[in-house]
Chain A
Amino acid sequence: GAVVSQHPSWVICKSGTSVKIECRSLDFQATTMFWYRQFPKQSLMLMATSNEGSKATYEQGVEKDKFLINHASLTLSTLTVTSAHPEDSSFYICSARGPGNQPQHFGDGTRLSIL
Chain B
Amino acid sequence: QKEVEQNSGPLSVPEGAIASLNCTYSDRGSQSFFWYRQYSGKSPELIMFIYSNGDKEDGRFTAQLNKASQYVSLLIRDSQPSDSATYLCAVNRWDNFNKFYFGSGTKLNVKP
Indicate whether A and B interact.
yes
* B32 pairs with A104, CB closer than 8 A: no
* A77 contact set on B, CB distance < 8 A: none
Q: A105-B46, A107-B43, A109-B42 are in contact. Are A49 and B98 (CB under 8 A)?
A: yes
Q: B87 → chain A, closest Cβ, in Å?
A: 13
Q: Mostly helix, strand, loop or mixed at chain B's interface?
A: strand
Q: B82 → chain A, closest Cβ, in Å?
A: 18
Please provide the chain B residues from 21 to 47 with a CB less than 8 Å away from any CB of chain A in the complex: 31-32, 34, 36, 41-46
Query: In whole angstroms, how far apart are the Cα atoms of A32 and B92 in the complex?
Result: 14
Most chain B CB within a 10 A radius of its CB, from A32, A93, A104, A108: A104
Interface stretch of the complex, out of B10-18, B57-65, B68-76, B100-108: B100-108
Residue interface mask B79-103, A partner, CB < 8 A = 1: 0000000001010001001101010
Answer whether residue A26 sits at the interface, using C-beta atoms and an 8 A cutoff. no
Q: B48 → chain A, closest Cβ, in Å?
A: 9
Q: Can you name the residue of chain A whose Cβ is closest to the Cβ of B97?
A: A101
Please provide the chain A residues from 26 to 54 with a CB less than 8 Å away from any CB of chain B in the complex: 32, 34, 43-44, 49, 51
* A106 pairs with B98, CB closer than 8 A: no
Q: A31 → chain B, closest Cβ, in Å?
A: 9
**Chain A residue total in the interface (Cβ 8 A):** 22
* A106 pairs with B88, CB closer than 8 A: no
Chain A contact residues, CB within 8 Å of chain B: 2, 6, 32, 34, 43-44, 49, 51, 91, 93, 95, 97, 100-109
Known: A91-B41, A103-B32, A109-B43. 11 other contacts (CB 8 A): A2-B46, A44-B88, A49-B98, A93-B44, A101-B51, A103-B46, A104-B90, A104-B100, A106-B43, A106-B44, A106-B45
A-B contact pairs, 22 of them (CB 8 A): A34-B100, A43-B102, A43-B105, A44-B44, A44-B88, A95-B44, A97-B98, A100-B97, A101-B32, A101-B51, A101-B97, A103-B32, A103-B46, A103-B49, A106-B36, A106-B43, A106-B44, A106-B45, A106-B46, A107-B43, A108-B42, A108-B43
